[in-house]
Chains A and B, each alone.
Chain A
Amino acid sequence: DTEVTQTPKHLVMGMTNKKSLKCEQHMGHRAMYWYKQKAKKPPELMFVYSYEKLSINESVPSRFSPECPNSSLLNLHLHALQPEDSALYLCASSQVGQGDTEAFFGQGTRLTVV
């Protein structure tokens, strides 16, 4: 199984809502990532978890709150978002500390903030 599964595929939320994005992998990877991708732009790293601990936060606003409850799951909790946060949110996973490997990406969640 080389899949990273993201749910939901599409999400529309108001600026006062609270919602969560979910990401799951069963490849035994111990590093997981959240990326944000605006239209016509490359993905930009938001967070990195290594062995279920947050290792990198790329100065992301606190209205985005990541969580890694176990080695297979990664969540992104959303609260009080702005319309400019509308984007494709991609989750990825990879091995840690090993060469000759790569990151596997999910299909993304298309988020629209209204």
Chain B
Amino acid sequence: AQSVTQPDIHITVSEGASLELRCNYSYGATPYLFWYVQSPGQGLQLLLKYFSGDTLVQGIKGFEAEFKRSQSSFNLRKPSVHWSDAAEYFCAVGTGSTLGRLYFGRGTQLTVWP
């Protein structure tokens, strides 16, 4: 069975500091991996995705993530956080032919101090 673990429930960083959000997955085959961001009361916006190929993927808003098969990880990074990045971040794995069938981690709440 597939599962996604986000070990950090809440992370606080200062504006301008670097950020890394952790994500580990469990899936028997090569997964499709996603990071989504959600502002309060809003829908989900895709930050980036990994399907195959280059294991370092670039996304929107200056985010990147690295797929490490040996560690079953897909950590999200940003070199310099902006106050507007404060939100909930979800890592998800998609399987099968309907890629909207997603299994989400519990989410990481990001707070940014000015």
Contact = CB atoms under 8 A, between A and B. Distances in A.
B104 interface: yes
B46 A102 contact: yes
- Summarize B's interface: helix, strand, loop or mixed: loop
Interface stretch (A11-19, A41-49, A62-70, A76-84): A41-49
Contacts of A92: 44, 100
Interface residues of A, number: 34
A99 B52 CA distance: 9
A108 B98 contact: no
A44 to B, nearest CB: 8
Nearest to B105: A42
B42 A107 contact: yes
A94 B98 contact: yes
Contacts of B34: 102
B102 A97 contact: no
Dominant secondary structure at the A interface: strand
Contacts of A6: 43
Interface of B: 32, 34, 36, 41-46, 49, 51-52, 90, 94, 97-102, 104-107
18 contacts: A31-B99, A31-B100, A32-B100, A33-B98, A33-B100, A42-B104, A42-B106, A45-B102, A48-B101, A50-B98, A92-B100, A96-B97, A96-B98, A102-B99, A105-B36, A105-B44, A105-B45, A106-B43
